[in-house]
Amino acid sequence: MAVIRDVMPVFELYQPASIDDAIKLLDKHGADALVLAGGLDSMDWLKDRLKKPKAVVDLGQIKELKGIKETNGGLEIGAMTPLSEIVRHPVVREKFSLLMEAAELVASPQIRNQGTLGGNVSQDTRCWYYRGGWTCYRAGGNICYADTPTSVNREHAIFDADRCVAVNPSDTAPALVALDASMVIRGPKGERIVPAEDYWIGPGIDITRMNVLAPNEILTAIRIPPTMAGAQFYFEKVRDRQVWDFALVNVASAIVVSGEKIVKARMVVNAVAATPRRLKNVETLIIGKARNEETADMAGKLAVEGAETLRHNAYKVPLMRNLVKRAIRGAGATWTS
């Protein structure tokens, strides 16, 4: 299907100065509104004329959505905080370096200067059929073009596919789940707190959206508790190019060791399903065990149980298995496949 790329569709641009004003605008326009954070994902939709909102609500003027502050041993990060600021922040680097590593691997320095944490975790999927204007399930049609005998589906899901096989593209999302973060959401009825693990939703719940935000709600902040502060962190992202590209698979882990035994662990992979995939079975398996080759091998095999591949993405199974093994073994370990 050809995509018309000429001028953006006509829309009303609003630049509210407060969260309350932004929510009022979203409540008024509902599904006809598009929220603009850093604009990197939204502008693609607008330039390609695939989304034609009647109103665009730009959050860039709302100062209370920006900044990082310490709270009870943890952090609260405004949703409009640029990724580059997160990478440079001393407390993030000292206590929660997992998020720093994930944010630092997003795209390029120029994009990290403009892109925001809230935008990175809330962006839409990158499936090229969907982004190309094909009327798939996610776009309101009755077929998944990425799941046919002749599809090009190298970057698609190996877990939890339900009609749609598109994946979550965020790098910071798995890090936030591993850090036991919470998402602060505001709407006309007030504020609600959602665990990061429950922020993203799969096609079995709602095939038309990637997260729990209602049309009249915005993500205002991300809260990271001290739960995993100072843990042993590991983040790795495998992609085709060293900049710009989205992950083929990424992994984020936070592990606490006492003596030679693992006493606490949170491990998450992304780009293998429509939502970041927390590996609770692996976490349970490794508690009480040493961070060694034997534990890593068992964890890697368990992590990929139940994977269902498509025509071109079977490579994701050994890739994910080996990334989990590397995360168990930790940074600096000598790696053999």
pLDDT tens per residue, the chain (337 residues)? 555 556 788 999 999 999 999 999 999 999 999 999 999 999 889 988 889 999 999 999 999 999 999 999 999 999 999 999 999 999 999 999 999 999 999 999 999 999 999 999 999 999 999 999 999 999 999 999 999 999 999 999 999 999 999 999 999 999 999 999 999 999 999 999 999 999 999 999 999 999 999 999 999 999 999 999 999 999 999 999 988 899 999 999 999 999 999 999 999 999 999 999 999 999 999 999 999 999 999 999 999 999 999 999 999 999 999 999 999 999 754 433 3
| The pair of three-digit structure tokens given for residue 121, joined into one six-digit string | 């975790």
In a domain, 20, yes or no: yes
> Do residues 18 and 59 touch, judged by C-beta distance below 8 A?
no
| Per-residue DSSP letter, 249 | E
The length of the chain is: 337
Give the domain extent around 271.
231-329
Q: How many domains does the chain have?
A: 2
The residues, any chain, with a CB within 8 Å of residue 129's CB and separated by 6 or more, are: 136, 144, 145, 146, 151
The secondary structure element, H or E, covering residue 271 is: none
Q: Say if 302 falls within a structural domain.
A: yes
Q: Count Cα neighbours of 54 within 13 Å in the Cβ-side half-sphere.
A: 7
Is residue 285 situated within a structural domain? yes
Q: Is residue 245 included in any domain, yes or no?
A: yes
Q: Give this prediction's pTM.
A: 0.95
- CATH at 48: 3.30.43.10
Q: How far, in Å, CA of 185 to CA of 114, rounded?
A: 22
The answer to the question of residue 145 being in a domain is: no
Would 108 be classed as within a structural domain?
no
Is 136 contained in some domain?
no
Of 176, 1, 216, 165, the closest CA to residue 83 belongs to 176
CATH number for 307: 3.30.390.50
Q: Is residue 310 part of a domain?
A: yes
